[in-house]
Amino acid sequence: MTDFRPYEIIPGNRDKGMVVLGDHAMRHLPERYGNLGLPESAFSRHIAYDIGIESLCRRLCGRLGVPGVLGGFSRLLIDPNRGEDDPTLIMKISDGAIIAGNHPITDEEWNYRIETFHRPYHRAVAETIAGVAAATGKAPLVLSMHSFTPAWKGVPRPWHASVLWDSDERAVVPLLAKLGADTDLVIGDNEPYDGALRNDTMFRHCMTKGIPHALLEIRQDLIGDEAGVAGWAERLSKIFAEINAEPVLHEYRRYPSRTGPYEA
């Protein structure tokens, strides 16, 4: 366990005012958990991680020269994009796969996973964002990268990519417009999921702090190989750089969340 890292920080120039996140970038588990009772093949599926996102985040950070934070553990162990009070934080079943290593689970084990994996990842995210903010004296632009399956329960998903968000539209509107300018792409707006998820990564680190942000989902078959990743990295790095260049974006401005009022 001592050599298992719950996150990886990709170094970059903090003066550029941008941070890239990959909550579900990796599918690793500490040895003590084996495969959580699942076959090895489960770890090549979306239930274990966001396919293509680790490579995409690395390429984006490299092309843009900005720092990033990658989750270092499989979402099957504990989901870093859920609040600590979310009942789906540690899943018992995911897309038909029964996760025997997660059920039954004691309160002690539940809390151990939060303390050992979930909290260190979020501390790394918070410290990276704070470091960029300190370097620029302004609110950084935070971009969270995810991927979704080409179909769900046999129904094809038409979107090539989708932007998920709550109510802060500052980065979202230009991102949707720039992606939508490519007539070959079908771009979703809060599809196939709604981006207003209380206490998720964007809520916790951006919504509550007034930091501009967007969560971008890309269809997994489009970034399932290095050629696809390279193409999307080229496209997105240009778009992200253009959005980041707008001075008005880098202001602290807190918006009301669609999930309800903030805690005092």
Q: How confident is the model over 53-102, as pLDDT tens digits?
A: 999 999 999 999 999 999 999 999 999 999 999 999 999 999 888 999 99
CA 189 to chain CA centroid, Å, is 16
Q: What is the pLDDT of residue 1?
A: 45
CATH architecture of the domain covering 7-249: 3-Layer(aba) Sandwich (3.40)
32: pLDDT confidence band, cut at 50, 70 and 90?
Answer: very high
| HEC profile of 74-88 | CCCCCCCCCCCCCCC
166 in Cβ contact with 207 (< 8 Å): yes
Residue at 44: amino acid letter: S
One-letter identity of residue 158 = P
Q: How many CB atoms lie under 10 A from the CB of residue 237?
A: 18
Residue 2, pLDDT score: 57
> Residue 209 pLDDT more than 70?
yes
Mean pLDDT of the chain: 96
Rounded average pLDDT over 142-169: 96
pTM greater than 0.85:
yes
CA-to-CA dists, residue 243 to 69, 174, 177, angstroms: 20, 7, 11
Name the strand (E) or helix (H) holding 23: none
